Structure 1
């Protein structure tokens, strides 16, 4: 599902707010109701918001506070941390070469997270210590906890999807993703004196199975649904969820054994985006290459 961050005030998307409290407490009746809401959202466009999700609000706030220190560094310091060619990790300013019209007006910092083999292994802490330096060890500690809690939520959401599809006994998605890796990305949108000339983030489709996004209260997130851009307004203490998942064989077989969408490797998508990465009126049509792979 394509999305962008730009100009609030459009028609709102139907992104239901789903309370996870009952599901996380193993309440069967509440879980059944939650599954129905999730099924409807995923059948429509794959976007919904969750509350009582188990991610500590203090950790989320600390993550925002800590990353501010990085974005407030002098420009030369941030450039020292810039993303190298061929890598998706590190600091980056606007990708002006990827846009045919309005330029993006944002800064990003990205790093990798994967489920560690033991509690003593601190992947994120080590990364911040090694790459950014000792003064960012606290930032690494905050994001270690943040990523671990988000990973736990992702596994819970995969479980809900399994229930909605009737494949919970197989733990299909848990087995598929429990050893996977994640991209942690923080976006900063500086004040712009000529906002009519820029976008926050241009139209794009996430290359991941699941996106968990914390919006601030400024708003601006939009999704492309029913051939229109619609806003997903911020909800206090909620997280925005976007799913992009492979259908289990059990589901495909029950539907005649033919997939509506093809499997593809992350490397294939990355190669495509690097060679067809200008954002303009043809962007969404360009992503129909996925459909072509079915034929």
Structure 2
């Protein structure tokens, strides 16, 4: 990428400040009570559930340590990612996404109508993944998203597969803890993911930027899924909006950064909120990150859980079909639009 073109320039209120706010850090949670082979005491699990609940309520973001994902898998993903993105644009575009299959490489994603300063390579966790062909409400046709297989590096596909398997296990453990923190059965969310989940894994590459005060790696947004599990290299850049300020997340080696998505906000009937976040870039160092997005099956009807609704706390959202919502978002992330993307606020009951 060369100089900053107009398509990348953020509106004035969204432009990042180059000074980092020194503020409290997001919670750090030790998952050893649920990841070690030894049986943990009930009190340890109870304490962990309280920590998760507090982090979800206060931040919607937290870091986890002693998570059980082998370090060598993360190292292999980073090596493979660097190898893939080091290729020429022409080589990378041989595995580009297209209108029918949203998986693969692209470098023109937009967030809130502004182009992101990044390149990505997307994969479905379950290959192939069944999704609606179009976002149109009365069109019931389905299609499959399938993974692209770059020739270089030759082991990229197998490396991603091994990494995703372990990250998915971690996601399900976290969803159990989140369920318990809401007073639900540990396996309450399982039914939405056991069959035909639509989860995605992404390789992100943020090149150096000549004008980091004008552009963003990813503009301010909230994640649309249930949960995001993020690993990254040593270059900081992820920021979360907390009490009106953008807080830079400080890295802990071999930790994962976790954030709630819109689906948990809806399921919890606003007990927990999906946090707004963004990615800043810099002029000196490129940055790599590796998010796993936990998404339910395409036929899932997303709505507040019955156990969390009562006369004092009525349902705050109308139901929406997850597959249609997902395909609509993917179909509108690649060009500037007259209106903003569909959001869960459109399903909010006034």
Is the shorter-chain TM-score for this pair beyond 0.5, marking a shared fold? Answer: yes
Report 1:1-295 matches (<5 A).
Answer: 9-12=20-23, 14-25=25-36, 26-27=39-40, 28-95=42-109, 99-100=113-114, 103-114=115-126, 127=147, 131-133=149-151, 135-168=152-185, 171-179=187-195, 180-244=197-261, 245=264, 246-247=267-268, 248-253=305-310, 256=312, 258-266=314-322, 267-268=324-325, 270-271=327-328, 290=345, 293-295=348-350
What is the aligned length?
273
Counterpart Cα distance in 2 of 1:30 and 1:97:
41
Counterpart Cα distance in 2 of 1:78 and 1:127:
14
Residue of structure 2 equivalent to 1:119: none
Query: 8 Å contact 1:189–1:200 — kept in the other structure?
Result: yes
Which structure has the higher relative contact order (CA within 8 Å, separation 6+)? 1
Tell me which moved more, 155-164 or 9-18: 9-18
Structure 1 residue 277 displacement after superposition: 8.3
Distance of aligned partners of 1:62 and 1:12 in 2 relative to their CA distance in 1, 3 Å threshold:
farther
Secondary structure of 1:88's match? coil
Query: 8 Å contact 1:15–1:232 — kept in the other structure?
Result: yes
Distance of aligned partners of 1:94 and 1:250 in 2 relative to their CA distance in 1, 3 Å threshold:
same
- Per-residue CA shift, 1:172-230, capped at 9, x if unaligned? 11222233231101111112233233211111211111100012221110112223322
Secondary structure of 1:110's match? strand
Query: 8 Å contact 1:8–1:231 — kept in the other structure?
Result: no
Query: Normalising by the residue count of structure 1, what TM-score does the alignment of the two structures yield?
Result: 0.80
Point out where structure 2 has 5 or more consecutive residues left out of the alignment: 1-13, 129-145, 269-304
Counterpart Cα distance in 2 of 1:227 and 1:166:
29
Counterpart Cα distance in 2 of 1:91 and 1:151:
22
Query: 8 Å contact 1:212–1:242 — kept in the other structure?
Result: yes
Structure 1 residue 77 displacement after superposition: 0.8
Query: 8 Å contact 1:97–1:278 — kept in the other structure?
Result: no
Query: 8 Å contact 1:98–1:278 — kept in the other structure?
Result: no
Distance of aligned partners of 1:8 and 1:49 in 2 relative to their CA distance in 1, 3 Å threshold:
farther
Tell me which moved more, 189-198 or 140-149: 189-198
Counterpart Cα distance in 1 of 2:78 and 2:175:
26
